[in-house]
A = this chain, B = another copy of it.
Amino acid sequence: MEEAQGSSFDQVPPFLAKTYNMVEDPSTNAIVSWGATGESFIVWNTQDFEKDLLPRYFNHNNFSSFIRQLNTYVSGFNVLHFMDF
């Protein structure tokens, strides 16, 4: 074995690890959750997502800032759906 220490998350950029954890957390599935195939995630409540969830993981509560950085990592991918009420 070459690398023995740390989880595989150590090699994932912080932004992606945080986003994964944020979507993964079952306690917030009413706000954001994985899509049916697990290849997308769905923001069910944009207001709660940006004002409540984002600041738990990031230093801001702006949806657009989240999208800006998401685009730097997954540009061109169809990884998220939005839902507004």
A interface list, Cβ under 8 A from B = 59-60
> Taking the full assembly, how many copies of this chain does it contain?
2
Name the residue on B nearest A60 (C-beta): B59
User: What B residues does A59 contact at CB under 8 A?
Assistant: 59-60
Question: What's the minimum C-beta distance from A69 to chain B, rounded to whole angstroms?
Answer: 14
User: What B residues does A60 contact at CB under 8 A?
Assistant: 59
Question: What's the minimum C-beta distance from A30 to chain B, rounded to whole angstroms?
Answer: 27
Sample of 2 A–B contacts (CB below 8 Å): A59-B59, A59-B60
Question: What's the minimum C-beta distance from A55 to chain B, rounded to whole angstroms?
Answer: 10
Question: What's the minimum C-beta distance from A14 to chain B, rounded to whole angstroms?
Answer: 15
Q: Could you tell me the distance between the alpha carbons of A59 and B60 in the complex, rounded to whole angstroms?
A: 7
Name the residue on B nearest A58 (C-beta): B59
